[in-house]
A and B are shown apart, each in its own frame.
Chain A
Amino acid sequence: MSAILASLAVLLGGAVLTAMLSQRPRLGLLIAMLSILGGSLLCLAAALPCLVHTSAAQSIVLAWPLPLGEARLALDGLSAWFLATIALLSSAVAIYAWEYLQAELGKEPVPALGAFLCVLVAALILVVTASDVALFLLGWELMMLASFFLVAFHHRQPEVRRAAWIYLVANHLGTALFVFPLFGILAAKAGGIDFQTFQAALRNSDQGTTTVLFLLGLLGFGTKAGFMPMHIWLPVAHPAAPTPVSALLSGVVIKVGIYGLLRLLGWLPALSVSCALVMLVFAMVSGVLGVLYALAQHDIKRLLAYHSVENIGIIGLGIGMGMLGHSLGQPALVALGYGGALLHVLNHALFKGLLFLSAGAVIHATGTGDIERLGGLARKTPVNAALFLLAAVSICGLPPFNGFVSEWILYGSLFSGTWVGSRSAAWVAAMGVLSLALMGGLALACFAKVFGVVFLGEPRERAIRVHPTPALMRVGMLIPAALCLGIGVWPTVFVPLTAGGVRTVAGLDAGEVSQRIRSVLSPVGHLTLLAAVLLTSIVALGGIKRLLLRRPGAALAAPVVTWGCGFAQPTGRMQYTASSFAWSLIHSFRSVLWPHRKIAAPAGPFAVHAALESHVPDMAEHDFFAPLLRGVSRAFRMIRNVSWTGEPVLPAPSRDDGARVGPMRVLITGVATALRQGRIQLYMGFIVLTLLVVFFVESLSPRESAAPPARPAARGIEGTSK
């Protein structure tokens, strides 16, 4: 525990120091990155013993009087797992960012970025180790604000500012509408804000309460995690943020939403089966739609952001199966579901972090993230291409990498879910198997597209100059790459570490969890071996080919352009583009995706002009949130347009379509005119009136005993005086 406190101190100290060194940005950045590295290592030192020994929760109470009581920190299996995830990825990002941000020195406020990165990592650590509501929400808000400032780093570009606002508003709406009520209900039930008391307090609560709590948690934490209808901030914020930030956002910040959900599930008693089914349906929708939208993207970071939605869906499948097992009393399902979900949390942090870092290296090398303009990068930046390929294979769930292991466990849980007795559960689990398979296949197609178009082939635009990837960036990327391979090759070493987390969530004995998972994992060893043999033989074949070609006297064919399609004088622009590569798949899913496509087909024998434009608008954004928010903003504008004299000050923004003045509008304008006189005295009057009502209600309400409630009344009076 003291290691965690030390790491928080290091990070906050680093943040303050960096912020003070704004005159010397290089030094400031160095200090920020070193403190992130140090803080991460300290966290890892705290988390690893807890994971290995699956010991009981350690906790510490700081005599630091927060407004709502002391600060309590605790470290159990679940916290330690997320802590390790955060530490691993942020140390890699710190090493990478030092080199990556050199280019921004002098142009943008780099020390501020460094300071906010420190604050973000500290807030993440605080959130996963906090053990009371006040500290958790403090960390949660701190995380949100820090990442808002990080997303807004290139704040001179209007679309970046827009992305940052969307991020802030979406997350605050999720927090205010769902997370606050959730904790309010929990605190009311438990009569306190200590996390340790929640489980006992909820033990005897009825089905309805637990369902409401679960739904609040799903919507609130799901907004952070990016489940499908609430995901709209993800594809906007990730491309806008600088690369180290998007790696952290996608790798760990959205995982904190999953952490919150799992923490909540740990408190709740066994939920009804329908809750688990809701979770599974949410997860399937996120997964399949996420990967489909990803397939249609042209911007590499936006594409990766949609893949985050997909992977959150995969994690959600695991959580749903765990819940199902919990409510049906099937320990095998619980172990496999939650275990697979936890493992996928770490795996996704590793390979998605690596993918973002690698995409960042592409942007660093070429200055653009537009897939349609890139090509042939494998020859210029071979290491980066290899790392991207490794991460892509991992995310597609192929052996011998880590994605395969977690998806294998999830398949195991889904297949065992198909014969657990409950008929509807079996149906949904079978659907889950299908959708997981669909996700895997589509992800493969998607990454074939990205890798093929960006790294293979020929450069599309000669104007793009390619810089090599700096060494430290490569070192930063090698850390997650090594872990991806390590988890894939030795799953039996890493997988049992999730047992502590599963025990926290579902109360299952740690030994049983690892035994169940091991039984599912036994074929994995053979498959991994097979894949390893396959890979080595591919590498060996490549080596042999190169050797043979290098032999003196070998007749070399003239080099031609890849995918030249038999043209006599092919150019880079004749290659398959990303859109055309993905179009056949998108077209077959057109009933789900509603793609827009504009074709100006070439006409006549000597066609001069031809153009093709395709994009796929996000359904949740365009068909759900946009109309909703437009209505809200229209209502606000109606209130704003009424002046204190009763006449509209601003001409209502050109609604010349003969807008009908309905009774609702008349009512709203009337009330608004009455309320908004613009007089200071009137506003003071409102405040006085409110205070009076509160005061009279508080003092006149019947009380059980006279002595204890004296304090709130006294506080009320002081409040009036302020």
Chain B
Amino acid sequence: MNVQAVTDSVLVLVILLNLGMLASSRLATGVRLFALQSLLLAFLPLAEEALEAQSPGIHAFIIAGGTIAMKVVLIPYILLRIIRTGEVHREVEPFIGFTASVFVGALLVIGSFAVAMRLPLPAPPASKLIVPVALSTLLLGLLTLVSRVKAITQVLGFLVLENGIFILGLLLLKQTPLLVELGILLDLFVGVFIMAIVVYHIRREFDHMDTHLLDALKET
């Protein structure tokens, strides 16, 4: 078990977690899967530096720590709290059914592998899996955003999408400036915070968390 193999299996796990999120109808499960995915991703910067045969620097440690604090602890905590207080536990009647969305998701994963082979890159990636995994995480996040009804799942889709960007960022910006990484984390936190407030208000106003009624303001 060298570092390469560990990294690859982590990446494969990330994809599986994505598909798991698509398949789960329970909101809390989805959030927990997201937390697990983020935990796995948090170790990637460390592995990245290890792959290049250096000892992980302070930079990588700060990123990993920030990711764990934000995406593994804080954000799932906020989301789970909303789910608890909102007493909404299941995603019912999504636009694309659970089985169908897993199927579409699998197609998207295949598609991203096909594309990633041909994608011109500025530098050869540390692992061959990084680009396809990043792309498929991105696309599956978008799929969640598009196909689900509950506001919480929308937030979840957005977060998964961000995880995809995170993986891509590892590859494209070898030495991501620390400030940028931290800035993204802060952005994410603020975004989720605001969305949590919005979701809370949606629930108070309509007594549920569907985004169905949000089209009432549509221009006629």
Contacts and interface: CB of A to CB of B under 8 A. Distances in A.
A685 to B, nearest CB: 4
Interface stretch (A249-257, A561-569, A606-614, A673-681): A673-681
Given A644-B215, A688-B142, A699-B115, A681 B148 contact: yes
B199 to A, nearest CB: 14
Contact of A710 (B95, B122, B168, B214): B122
Contacts of B165: 721
Interface in B165-220: 165, 168, 172, 211, 214-215, 218-220
A669 to B, nearest CB: 15
Contacts of A700: 115, 118
B41 interface: no
B161 A709 contact: no
Nearest to B148: A681
B95 A681 contact: yes
B122 to A, nearest CB: 5
A714 interface: yes
A649 interface: yes
A650 interface: yes
B56 to A, nearest CB: 26
Given A650-B220, A688-B142, A721-B161, A680 B119 contact: no
A706 interface: yes
Contacts of B122: 710-711, 714
Contacts of B147: 681
A685 B146 CA distance: 5
Interface string A680-722: 1110110010001001100110010011011101100100110
Contacts of A650: 220
Interface in B126-165: 138-139, 142-143, 145-149, 161, 164-165
B120 A678 contact: no
A22 interface: no
B217 to A, nearest CB: 9
Contacts of A649: 220
Contact of B149 (A681, A695, A709): A681
B115 A710 contact: no
B1 interface: no
A453 B115 CA distance: 77
B53 interface: no
B172 A680 contact: no
A614 B52 CA distance: 87
B5 interface: no
B13 to A, nearest CB: 22
A272 interface: no
A199 interface: no
Interface string B106-119: 00000100010011
Contacts of A711: 122
A680 B220 contact: no
A710 B220 contact: no
B58 interface: no
B119 A699 contact: yes
A492 interface: no
Interface residues of B, number: 28
A713 B145 contact: no
Nearest to B149: A681
Nearest to B134: A717
A640 B220 contact: yes
B146 A710 contact: no
A666 to B, nearest CB: 21
A678 B215 contact: yes
A699 B116 CA distance: 9
A713 B148 CA distance: 29
A644 B120 contact: no
A643 B218 CA distance: 9
Contacts of B119: 699, 713
B145 A684 contact: yes
A703 B120 CA distance: 10
Given A696-B115, A700-B115, A679 B215 contact: yes
A686 to B, nearest CB: 9
A408 to B, nearest CB: 59
B115 A680 contact: no
B149 A717 contact: no
Contacts of B143: 688
B121 A710 contact: yes
Interface string B85-123: 000000000010000000000000001000100111110
Interface in A628-681: 640, 643-644, 649-650, 677-681
A681 B146 contact: yes
A643 B220 CA distance: 7
A695 to B, nearest CB: 8
Nearest to B166: A721
Nearest to B115: A699
Contacts of B218: 644, 678
A720 B214 contact: no
B104 to A, nearest CB: 12
Contacts of B211: 680-681
Which 3 residue pairs spanning A and B have beta carbons closest together?
Answer: A678-B215, A685-B146, A649-B220
30 contacts: A644-B215, A644-B218, A649-B220, A650-B220, A678-B215, A679-B95, A680-B211, A680-B215, A681-B148, A681-B211, A684-B142, A684-B145, A684-B146, A685-B146, A688-B143, A692-B139, A695-B115, A696-B111, A699-B115, A700-B115, A700-B118, A706-B120, A707-B120, A709-B120, A710-B121, A710-B122, A711-B122, A713-B119, A717-B172, A721-B168
Given A644-B215, A644-B218, A695-B115, 12 more contacts: A643-B220, A650-B220, A680-B215, A681-B149, A684-B142, A688-B146, A696-B115, A699-B119, A710-B120, A713-B119, A721-B161, A721-B168
